Amino acid sequence: MILKKQSNDITHWPKDVKAKNRLSFLLKLGFSVPQIFEILDDTEIAPDENLPDTGLTLDKERMLSPIHIDTPNYGTRIKTVILINKSGNVNFYEKGLNDNGSWELNKFKFSITKAHTFKSIIVYKTAKKSWPKVASSFVTFILMYPVF
């Protein structure tokens, strides 16, 4: 199994470890798409002693510490889960914040021509509203495990 976080920030945040551990746990038990979105909806603020030293103020580091960031000027706007099986069937789920401030879930199913020998779960989120000079919220988790 490969579980990788991809981000526009090299800093290690507690939310990265938390999301990785929760995704790994779901993989072992079996999972549903709503369970994955539950992980991405987590708004728990990390304890101060676990926050990375980014050079930002402590208040800003606290603001950026949840998996799901929700502040007036910055936060999570889109969450996507992509499931690909070994036959190349893709289930694409995207939960996005619309102009009215409501969350909408869109689902798409399609096939790709070659899926190799991996099943994949790709989960990512992007920032909303405005990007601060130090953008640390764009996070991608890629979970792959071989199908033998």
What CA–CA distance (Å, rounded) separates 131 from 134? 8
Give the tens place of pLDDT for each residue, 99-131.
Answer: 898 999 999 998 887 545 455 555 444 444 443
Question: What digits encode the pLDDT tens for the residues 49-105?
Answer: 999 988 999 999 999 999 999 998 888 888 888 888 878 888 899 999 888 989 999
Among residues 140, 137, 111, 113, the alpha carbon closest in space to that of 124 is found at 140
Helices (H), the chain: 14-29, 33-40, 58-64
pLDDT at 103: 94
Give the pLDDT of residue 114.
59
pLDDT in the model for residue 133: 34
Q: For tokens 């036959």, what's the residue?
A: 87
Whether the per-residue pLDDT at 41 is higher than 70: the answer is: yes
- Full residue range of the structural domain in which residue 127 is found: 2-146
Cα–Cα distances in angstroms (integers) from residue 43 to residues 63, 84, 100, 113, in the given order: 10, 28, 21, 38
What pTM was estimated for this model as a whole? 0.72
Classified as helix, coil or strand, 29 is helix
Total of domains in the chain: 1
Angle at 37 between CA 31 and CA 38, to 5 degrees: 85
The total number of residues shown for the chain amounts to 148
Please tell me the distance from the alpha carbon of residue 45 to that of residue 102, in angstroms, as a whole number. 22
Cα–Cα nearest to 145, from 34, 23, 17: 23
